[in-house]
Structure 1
């Protein structure tokens, strides 16, 4: 290529013209003509062009002017133009005319399509008109229009070619632009020799030129085909991508790979077979009439609305401060748009938008405006005027438009922009709460029998404070009265430094609600205000902040609130010297947290997962109090009977310096020689910790309430989840300085359980039960409000510490566990019994019965159905043979694999009778009978079973447990398989049972097997159990009572037996 530096300035300004003409047959390769004006320097310029095209020029006429011209073949022209397309215009020796430059742009698009592999292998009958072939291509993409006649039904001669696929929107957009420019630049008869009246021929000529360029480029990549090059062809991205008759495909591939298009590109093939293959590949292409033939812009433009606030737009007709919604036509890919007001000023039916000419675009944007007008009355009103280009929105209507109309417009796919309307930066929003003087309210003696916390703490319930709040936005402070007025008038706008800003009014108002609810005006109980501030903080959008300012008279509260906000990182505490053992890092943090709570005067719930060492953390805390001489009396610890042995052993191991007395057993009420009860005698001797059970505490409440305890700790605190039970009311009456609750499941079924536990540890922290239900339970459970769930989570942070085995730092110390559902069917006997139970239920429900009777029948049926799924003998008696239960047979088979691998397993069942059946079945299968740990055993018997199983002494590798008796506080890490033979309604209970094996100390992966009988209630309830986990995970589920509230039809759907799915084939 001769550079422009070799030619003078005058010569470099000479334009080279060019045109490519195609004959009627679609396979015609075309002939190109290049020319320059005779007025130019014919010698030097002509020589340069001749070198480019490889031939000498001739003289002739073009547009009534003498020209020097060259006629070249189509391949040569494509090659030449493609060469120019790869060079900057500045490097060309002479400028190209707009007409010729458009060929260069088309060649450039072809190379992009090739690089994107957006091409199709194609073939059509020889001699057909190109326009007819083009229309056939549009029909090929229509799966409902199998138009194969154009290819014929028998043997024929076809021509192969590569054509664009147009499957990518950005390539279709560029195609449309080139076609639009071609209509403006190319003459009417360009591209088609002898046809001057072809409709839209300039745009179609560009399409044909793109076909020509793509076919040429693809062939250059492939080269000639042959048997020796089959491997290279099959690896090429441009090979035929579908299967067919081998000979046809081979000839087609060969014709597609011909490098020189002047050579033979025709091949013989069966027309119907060829059409079938082509038709298949066109389905995923962009060959759609609405995408390729529409010139109005409907395919790649959309209607867009732009809302302009007052003071921004320059109004011509009035000085009103109405907001204006402007209408635009905007491009789907490029940042190009134009106002509709420009369209109405066009003299004709074409409109240039960016680089593209749109023809009759009102054919689609006017219907779109009418559709938008069905949502927005303002837009509908604008359509009543001639040439609608904007809608006026009154100042009082803007809020409704933004909050109601805009979301509907967005929902229907419209684009609405707020060009000059800025949202207030969240970093510029502050809620400021100013706390004034404090005072104590006068309290009367308790009449409800609730025990008191002795000693002083910051957060006493009789501490009252005065407060007020304001909202500061970008430095502009808005008083409480002003902000409430903005809310009443629904005007979430502020003009700040001459610019209108949108304030998240609704969100701020929701975030402020806790300060307005539960507090009497601007005076609040200190504990209630603390809770409200935590709720406000949780409700704030990211970046916005809550600021608490203390008046000089309230500076005494600073330490309290700073301590409260540091609940996640309390000051470190040295591990007591007389504590035998070590604490993991998270356990040391738990010790520090307990000490921190005591300093703040707050009780707390230690809610770590089962197996993370809650017992050890509490023992370390009690030892710390003794070492620091902080204990104000003995400590009281309550737990279920099954955990007494565990607490005694752990205390002896880790804190032998603590004197422990177990207040349990029949001799606890026997007087000694001095007339003292054992409890009094041990306290007189300096006992540090009294350990008792919930049941004993209820019976000996008078003794226990007569003492002033330092720390009262309740283990497995879900035992008081129902505040109306005797044991819940009993523990509330205990007098203490500090209260702690331990539980791995703060919420098993209902959020009210959480309130009951917190009412013990920190009375009134969650308000009254009615208040808690109104402000937390109903929004979270009934309405699923995640915002309120987040607030509750934040409120609980200071007084509830929960770590799980899935926490990254803790998970490193535990093996993985995974769950698998083991499906079993029903025997014929089981299926018959199952159906009989259902029939009896609905026969009874059809009778007129009261609500309580109806609930009782339903709950009884639930139990019966689970028993039938377990084994028929549980309901109808008879033999306990495993052959009567498909589920039992499945369990035995799985346990056989466990035993063979030298592993161990726990088997949980909620029915004692089923536990005995499992033990007998295992004895018949393996020759040994496993232990069965259930509620009917004494504490000593349970301890022996657990010790034997853990130490492998006289113990088979399987331990059977009842779900309730074996689901609390036991370490059974020998097992790495857990089988839930029958299912509980509550996932938290199942997880507790699983955690007997999945605890610290476990060195192997734990596999959890959950049995489900297909086609039965168990299969349907399995899905319900999984979904029920969400509530517990959100804030720390409802009991099976919800089933009893179903109508009969819903019950029938839940209980019904899907016999084909349930019945298991029997030998």
Structure 2
């Protein structure tokens, strides 16, 4: 992509860019000004290309770029085609986002979640369809806003405007595709026909415009349509009417449907209708509760006409219905009411697939044969095993005779062995067909595994894998392989002791390797994935040499060439190369390690000779991409990807390159197998076991969309069952996993501003708010970010904002608190990590603290070479002298082991909890023997305190709300920003 700088006046350029886009809409191509991450050399390449940015100092800058504009009427068709993966081009995150948004729009249109409207476009009245977003649809819409990639809003219109405009166009296009026929038949309304008739015809016509419409008629019709749309959204208020279905008592056929008022924000706030009529009050509801209840029931009757029976009562509280009516409510009314924003509470079994299959397997190995002995004797995926599939309804296995009786009764809602279940006709037919097939016999282990992943048959899912299944396959399918199988002891050549859970991890890895399967070791950060991997390599080599894994392995040089295990290729981020090198030397010194990275790496025949004499070859993702053709020529025993989230986007060059490296087995190491969406899990799983989850398109249709869009619990359970055999996940907060990891004590340290800081803070607020009010688009966004940066700099220190080289003492509340804390830490003989997101502040702080404390203060930032970085880490970890380690958050937030510190200080906050936690985990990890004190500095009464409070209020959603850093704040209104930035008098000391 070629791009021309749009320096000087981003606001006017942005306006010109939008005009350019309007012209391009008619002509097909043009240019637009977009706000892009940039260096001095130009826009930064998209992350999906795998190309690293050249230069330093990345910031948002306006650039005029060529664009191809797709009219709104064609956008749906274009995105539908682009949603299909291709080998010829690479889809970026913004395109994938828009494809998912288009699917959401189609789903809204198919479910009728839209209303016809009359709008004015370019001065012409136009018939359009608009989405109705209530209930679960409104929640999904908010999720789309929180998850919007920055590049989608690069034109500077903000999240709210961009999302609303995009969804409006896509829903209109989707509505016309699902309703190609005219709404009213007969003669098509001509130009002189009444406006309502012309409008109805235009709702499905190729041309939606209504030229020549008289303004008075347009206003009258638009008013009625606007009222209609507004009424459709009324159920989405803070208090909603709720319906609760009760099962009948034994031996009766009378179900109960209770009405109530319920908080939309906190569903636990629930007031039954009987209490409403008894004078009960609802917290925070200004109107009379009885009026709110009757108004809601009046709206609901359009979706559930049977309510008219209950509304004959002056004080409706509940209604009695029979089983057939209860089924009709479950099948038809409940989904409509939920989608419209009403509360609906159903029995726990409602909506679940009642009919399914239960798989049980039995191995054919002789009794008394150990799991390892079976593996050593050649057991693998081609081995025959006995299997049985049983039919399950609800929680119990049923016979063919019982199933036939249920089918004969033709009752969709029945009580089976004391439990109510909803029987789907299609599933019943599939179950009756299934009982006529062979439901037991023999299959290969691989065929059984495929059944588990595929999930049974169409319309008849696999609901359970018998945890009592025996043998290697039973161990694998149980989801408890690491705990059930015979343990592999720590290799004698391993210099250290594995913890019990790590030995279980070693056993699981060893087990998968014997079957020729790959896996994801997804242990929490700091639980020792490196040590488990190195112990696996040692155990394999000991076994291959004809000895027990616990025996001492012979020196590598003495291994005959015909008995050597092919080397392991380990791919990791550059920041972890030294860590792997050092950990291998520490835990597995008998392994021959070669680092293939940098300009001095060997090439050609020298490379192959070096690999032949190595057990482990360590390289980086970037080097693996560049040297792919060379790496493909080696017969690797295993490829290991550390920090495997680096290949979470399957379409990137980096991910495709790693997949192309041949190996007998593959292993992914990551503490976060899913960071944003389930496609990432598919990508990592497809690396470990190519094709195991099927094509990406099928995975998206079967798992990703049902789980992410519709929160389908059955699909989530099926995915967990399909991936469970290949994923081992343990958390360090689980005391059953590790009981001796010290505690992590987090606290907030409240600091006050000095008078000088308060004066500067107020001046910045007044100055920046006036600029924000007078700007829009890209310019407004930039001004908000600039205001936040300046205010955070003031909170750090006046010299940080002014950049005047002035003195530091006695001018900052934060710095004064840090001085006190640092003195205590040094006096106690401890070490501390101090994180700042500003390299310029760290450069000021480091010499000042070193002089003030008369102790070493190390300073790690992005401008250091790898060798210097390693030297600093080595010194901090091994020098006994108390000291501080000042670190740039971006340069040191991941990939470092700094367990010598038992104090962590976040001097200025990065408002993304995940980023802060990753930085904290540099100290809070395996190897830490003391409790870790984590302190987060916050200036009271400033935006720091207010943003912290916002995050606390939404802690469950914090990662999605602030997952992209601080960009979400730029979409706040000016009044909200004024409240956020305002200085509280209590902030000054």
* TM-score (norm: length of structure 1): 0.51
- Given the superposition, is the C-alpha separation of residues 901 and 793 from structure 1 closer, same or farther in structure 2, using an over 3 Å criterion? farther
> In the alignment, what sits opposite 2:591?
658
Is 1:503 aligned to residue 416 of structure 2?
Answer: no
In 1, Cα distance between the equivalents of 2:648 and 2:786?
Answer: 23
Q: Secondary structure of the equivalent of 2:725?
A: coil
- Deviation, 1:430, is 6.8
Contact 1:434 1:467 (8 Å CA) reproduced: yes
Q: Secondary structure of the equivalent of 2:934?
A: strand
> In the alignment, what sits opposite 2:453?
531
Q: Where in structure 2 are the equivalents of 1:510-659 lying within 5 Å?
A: 529-533=451-455, 560=473, 563-565=476-478, 566-569=480-483, 570-629=485-544, 633-659=566-592
> In the alignment, what sits opposite 2:742?
815
In 1, Cα distance between the equivalents of 2:624 and 2:762?
Answer: 47
In 2, Cα distance between the equivalents of 1:682 and 1:1020?
Answer: 57
- Deviation, 1:504, is 4.8
Question: Which stretches in structure 1 are left out of the alignment for 5+ residues?
Answer: 1-303, 314-322, 328-367, 410-415, 436-455, 517-522, 551-556
Among 824, 832, 856, which residue is 2:763 paired with? 832
Q: Secondary structure of the equivalent of 2:987?
A: coil
1:782-823 residue CA offsets vs partner (Å, 9 max, x unmatched): 566666555544444322222222221444221111100123
In 2, Cα distance between the equivalents of 1:865 and 1:778?
Answer: 41
Among 391, 397, 419, which residue is 2:325 paired with? 397
- Deviation, 1:975, is 1.6
In 2, Cα distance between the equivalents of 1:987 and 1:875?
Answer: 25
- Given the superposition, is the C-alpha separation of residues 859 and 392 from structure 1 closer, same or farther in structure 2, using an over 3 Å criterion? closer
Q: Secondary structure of the equivalent of 1:992?
A: helix
> In the alignment, what sits opposite 2:642?
715
- Deviation, 1:621, is 0.6
> In the alignment, what sits opposite 2:850?
923
Q: Secondary structure of the equivalent of 1:830?
A: helix
In 2, Cα distance between the equivalents of 1:476 and 1:1055?
Answer: 65
- Given the superposition, is the C-alpha separation of residues 940 and 547 from structure 1 closer, same or farther in structure 2, using an over 3 Å criterion? closer
Is 1:939 aligned to residue 866 of structure 2?
Answer: yes
Is 1:1053 aligned to residue 976 of structure 2?
Answer: yes
In 2, Cα distance between the equivalents of 1:417 and 1:582?
Answer: 52
> In the alignment, what sits opposite 1:38?
none
- Given the superposition, is the C-alpha separation of residues 722 and 492 from structure 1 closer, same or farther in structure 2, using an over 3 Å criterion? same
In 2, Cα distance between the equivalents of 1:869 and 1:482?
Answer: 74
> In the alignment, what sits opposite 1:492?
413
> In the alignment, what sits opposite 1:694?
621
In 2, Cα distance between the equivalents of 1:959 and 1:590?
Answer: 33
> In the alignment, what sits opposite 2:100?
none
Is 1:1064 aligned to residue 987 of structure 2?
Answer: yes
Contact 2:359 2:388 (8 Å CA) reproduced: yes
> In the alignment, what sits opposite 2:660?
733
Q: Secondary structure of the equivalent of 1:624?
A: helix
Question: Which stretches in structure 2 are left out of the alignment for 5+ residues?
Answer: 1-244, 258-292, 338-344, 362-377, 435-442, 545-562
In 2, Cα distance between the equivalents of 1:793 and 1:763?
Answer: 18
> In the alignment, what sits opposite 1:153?
none
1:1015-1040 residue CA offsets vs partner (Å, 9 max, x unmatched): 5554354356568875899xxx4764
Among 738, 756, 759, which residue is 2:683 paired with? 756
Contact 2:391 2:397 (8 Å CA) reproduced: no
1:302-344 residue CA offsets vs partner (Å, 9 max, x unmatched): xx999578xx68xxxxxxxxx56799xxxxxxxxxxxxxxxxx
In 2, Cα distance between the equivalents of 1:791 and 1:1027?
Answer: 33
* TM-score (norm: length of structure 2): 0.54
Q: Where in structure 2 are the equivalents of 1:343-358 lying within 5 Å?
A: none
Contact 1:720 1:756 (8 Å CA) reproduced: yes
Is 1:1004 aligned to residue 930 of structure 2?
Answer: yes
- Given the superposition, is the C-alpha separation of residues 951 and 433 from structure 1 closer, same or farther in structure 2, using an over 3 Å criterion? closer
> In the alignment, what sits opposite 1:331?
none
> In the alignment, what sits opposite 2:375?
none
In 1, Cα distance between the equivalents of 2:928 and 2:247?
Answer: 63
Among 888, 897, 900, which residue is 2:827 paired with? 900
Contact 1:1014 1:1062 (8 Å CA) reproduced: no
In 2, Cα distance between the equivalents of 1:932 and 1:717?
Answer: 28
Q: Where in structure 2 are the equivalents of 1:238-253 lying within 5 Å?
A: none
Q: Secondary structure of the equivalent of 1:1000?
A: coil
Contact 2:571 2:621 (8 Å CA) reproduced: yes
Among 681, 687, 690, which residue is 2:609 paired with? 681
In 2, Cα distance between the equivalents of 1:783 and 1:417?
Answer: 17
> In the alignment, what sits opposite 1:132?
none
> In the alignment, what sits opposite 1:984?
910
- Given the superposition, is the C-alpha separation of residues 931 and 1041 from structure 1 closer, same or farther in structure 2, using an over 3 Å criterion? closer
- Given the superposition, is the C-alpha separation of residues 914 and 780 from structure 1 closer, same or farther in structure 2, using an over 3 Å criterion? farther
- Given the superposition, is the C-alpha separation of residues 721 and 918 from structure 1 closer, same or farther in structure 2, using an over 3 Å criterion? farther
In 1, Cα distance between the equivalents of 2:731 and 2:847?
Answer: 37
Q: Secondary structure of the equivalent of 1:968?
A: coil
- Given the superposition, is the C-alpha separation of residues 734 and 1065 from structure 1 closer, same or farther in structure 2, using an over 3 Å criterion? same
Contact 1:457 1:601 (8 Å CA) reproduced: no
- Deviation, 1:401, is 6.1
Q: Secondary structure of the equivalent of 1:964?
A: helix
- Deviation, 1:592, is 0.6
Q: Secondary structure of the equivalent of 1:610?
A: coil
Q: Point out which structure has higher relative CO (alpha carbons under 8 A, 6+ apart).
A: 2
Q: How many residues align?
A: 640
Contact 2:946 2:980 (8 Å CA) reproduced: no
> In the alignment, what sits opposite 1:22?
none
- Deviation, 1:479, is 10
- Deviation, 1:1056, is 4.7
